Amino acid sequence: MDLYDLLEKVDSKESFLQFLKALKEDKMDEDKKEVEQPSPPYGSGANGWENGSIVNFLDAIEAFGVSSKLIPQEPSWKNFALLIYAGKFYE
């Protein structure tokens, strides 16, 4: 299942943890692909990851949280998943 599809289905602790596992596996898959055939240095990786380091990943989560109207004040498992998903690509 696609990461975005999993994100859309997050509504509980269990589905949040399934999403996290899939996101981790997506990054591990990209890292393997990048060893075999590196992507150009100024673009996203093979699976669309823009933020490969933990610092850049966390910075993207923070920036998305601050600027996005999609994250309401009341937390939910899906909001947590959306924030973490944004760490993959948000700049």
**Domain extent listing, the chain:** 3-89
Residue % of the chain over a pLDDT of 90:
82
Whole-angstrom Cα Rg for the chain: 13
Is residue 19 within 8 Å of residue 81, measured between CB atoms? yes
Q: pTM to 2 decimals?
A: 0.87
Q: Can you give the pLDDT at residue 8?
A: 95
Between 27 and 70, the higher pLDDT residue: 27
Exposed, middle or buried, 53 (CB in 10 Å: 0-12/13-18/19+)? Answer: exposed
| Lowest mean pLDDT, pick from 35-39, 42-46, 47-51, 72-76 | 72-76
pLDDT band for 75, please (50, 70, 90 cuts). Answer: confident
- CA dist., res. 84 & res. 7, Å (int): 10
